[in-house]
Amino acid sequence: MHLVERLKQKEEEAYFEVMDAYGDYLLRTAFLLLKDYQLAEDTVQDTFVMAFKKLDQLEDEEKLKSWLTTILLNRCRSQMRKWNWKVLLAPLDLIERTKADNQALNPENALLFSEWHESISTSIQQLDYKYREVITLFYFNEMKIKDIALFTNTNENTVKSKLKRARLLLKEILPEGSIDI
């Protein structure tokens, strides 16, 4: 039986198969977009819960991965909106939390953190959300411009110009000659 059919039959094993197949991929996408591991994992969890509850809305069974990605992108956008409100309403609280997080780094983590800081993923995370999203979808999710336009509900020209701008910004952030964009 097809995996989606098994999901519709509420087979627990099928749920695990889907999560094993796409969980890491969705988590990495969410992490690039949200810049927070815990938040990314919660968002992926919500994505799976929503997807499994609304399986009837999946039109083409072959497009399970892209359907999950669409749900994830919407969840990430909604998280970002929430986050923006949080920053606006409680900036002091956030600053305190960030400070506490930084203080919690032990020497080993600090070394990893400094290496991490020079990575491409961190550079992508330094971009604004609108650029981060197109860059992530284009390079990490390997989507075509046409698909990105569809996923982000914009037109292809907008995606192209955002991508161009995002590449320029990324070049400025990344050390010279570190990677070809």
Partner 1 sequence: MKKQLDKELEHLRFTKQRNVIDQISKPTWKQRLNSLWHKEIEIPLLPVAAVGMLIVLLASLTFADNEISYTTRDSKETIKIGGNVYWKEDYEKLVKKYEN
Based on the shown chain and the rule CB under 8 A, indicate whether residue 139 belongs to the binding site for partner 1.
yes
Q: How far is the CB of 135 from partner 1 (least distance, A)?
A: 9
Asked if 121 interacts with partner 1 (CB under 8 A), we say yes
Element (H, E) at 29: helix 12-34
Residue 92, Cβ neighbours under 10 Å: how many?
A: 7
Distances (CA, A) of 119 to 18, 22, 38, 82: 29, 24, 20, 27
CA distance 49 to 43: 10
| Least gap, CB of 106 to partner 1 (angstroms) | 17
Total residues binding partner 1 (CB under 8 A): 32
Identify whether the C-beta of residue 132 lies closer than 8 Å to the C-beta of residue 124. Answer: yes
Token pair 């991490």 in the structure block, residue: 116
17 to 46, contacts with partner 1 by CB under 8 A?
Answer: 19-20, 23-24, 26-28, 31-32, 37, 40-42, 44-45
Taking the complex as a whole, how short is the minimal distance between the CB of residue 53 and partner 1, in angstroms? 6
**Interacting residue ranges for partner 1, rule: CB under 8 A:** 12, 15-16, 19-20, 23-24, 26-28, 31-32, 37, 40-42, 44-45, 48-49, 52-53, 116, 119-121, 139-140, 142, 179-181
